[in-house]
Amino acid sequence: MAVACLNANGMEPVTNRTGWPLNGDGIWVDIRQPASIAPRPVLFLDRDGVINRDTGYVGDPVDVELMPGAAQLIAYANRCGVPVAVITNQSGIARELFGWEDFAAVMACLEKLLEEQAASLDAIMACPFHPDFTAGYGARHADWRKPGSRMIRTAAEALNADLTKSWIVGDAVTDIQAGADAGLAGGLFVGTEIPADLPSETRSTLSLAALHSDLRTVLVGG
């Protein structure tokens, strides 16, 4: 059975003829907040490995498990009035391991778990492309797929983000590179091994729980 992906207000997002909120390039674009009058910081988050455990091409709700500290971090941003936007590569779709219906089911489960801890998402962007599995893969596809920054730029424009005060949290170099390419203030890297080729404006931490002080400092002024 298909799982409806509803906005925070209980309304279905604008959809194309496939029934999913896909734009003309085939990117999942679900924006739940109107743009603010004044530019504001936005917290951009990778999904797998940051919000939920990365078990490898997560396409089944049974595999959804929140990362420790993720819901608390998102809820804190919510309380501070900082929009939270998910920016995720989902090459499992290009690999034909799962489809958009499965992605929607995973997101519905994930958002239910977040809701139970008073946390919510304001935008979801997902790219299905992969250079080895997308026919005719080229510059347009690469612009959307991280480390390309078009997903971030699209969400930022829709939310009227102040890029110079916005940050991205990721567990891969490509997440941080995408943020740098979009002109974000910097990136917060979570993981046990810190890569040597992270962009210069990167803070590293071993857990999302440890990011609360960083979030206060970089997004809401301490």
- Going 59 to 64 to 66 to 67, the CA torsion angle's sign is negative
Q: What is the pLDDT of residues 15-36, one digit of tens each?
A: 444 589 999 999 999 999 898 8
> How confident is the model over 166-171, as a mean pLDDT?
92
**Comparison of pLDDT for 49 and 199, the residue scoring more:** 49
Residue 193 inside a domain? The answer is: yes
Residues paired with residue 125 on neighbouring β-strands, in sequence order: 29, 87
Which of 25, 30, 48, 54 is catalytic? The answer is 48
Q: According to the model, what pLDDT value does residue 189 have?
A: 86
Mean per-residue pLDDT of the chain:
86
Q: Is 48 a catalytic residue?
A: yes
pLDDT at position 146 over 60: yes
Q: According to the model, what pLDDT value does residue 7 have?
A: 38
Residue 4 inside a domain? The answer is: no
Residue 140 inside a domain? The answer is: yes
pLDDT at position 200 over 70: no
pLDDT at position 133 over 50: yes
Give the CA radius of gyration of the chain: 16
Q: What is the pLDDT of residues 103-129, one digit of tens each?
A: 999 999 999 999 999 999 999 999 999
Q: Is 46 a catalytic residue?
A: yes
Residue 11 inside a domain? The answer is: no
Assessment of whether the complete model's pTM goes beyond 0.75: yes
Residue 22 inside a domain? The answer is: no
Q: According to the model, what pLDDT value does residue 190 have?
A: 85
Q: Number of structural domains, the chain? A: 1
Question: In b/e form, how buried is each residue of 77-93, taking b as 16+ CB within 10 angstroms?
Answer: bbeeebbbbbbbbbbbb
Cα–Cα distances (Å) from 6 to 32, 134, 193, in that order, read 9, 28, 36
pLDDT at position 130 over 90: yes
Q: According to the model, what pLDDT value does residue 12 have?
A: 41
Strands 186-190 and 84-89: unpaired
Contact between residue 21 and residue 14 where contact means Cβ atoms under 8 Å apart:
yes
> How confident is the model over 77-95, as a mean pLDDT?
96
Range of weakest confidence among 10-14, 101-105, 182-186, 197-201: 10-14
Q: Give all strands (DSSP E) within 1-137, no chain letters.
A: 28-31, 43-45, 84-89, 123-127
* Residue 83 domain boundaries: 28-219
Cα–Cα distances (Å) from 18 to 125, 194, 213, in that order, read 17, 40, 42
Q: What is the pLDDT of residues 28-78, one digit of tens each?
A: 999 998 988 999 999 999 999 999 999 999 999 999 999 998 999 999 999
- The backbone region for 180, taken as left when phi is positive above 0, alpha when psi lies in -120 to 50, beta otherwise, is alpha
User: Would you call 222 exposed, middle or buried from its count of C-beta atoms within 10 A (0-12, 13-18, 19+)?
Assistant: exposed
pLDDT at position 8 over 60: no
> How confident is the model over 184-209, as a mean pLDDT?
70
Residue 20 inside a domain? The answer is: no
Residue 152 inside a domain? The answer is: yes
CATH number of the domain encompassing residue 100: 3.40.50.1000
Which of 46, 102, 122, 171 is catalytic? The answer is 46
Residue 14 inside a domain? The answer is: no
Percent of the chain having pLDDT more than 70?
Answer: 78
Provide the residue type at 55 as one letter.
Answer: T
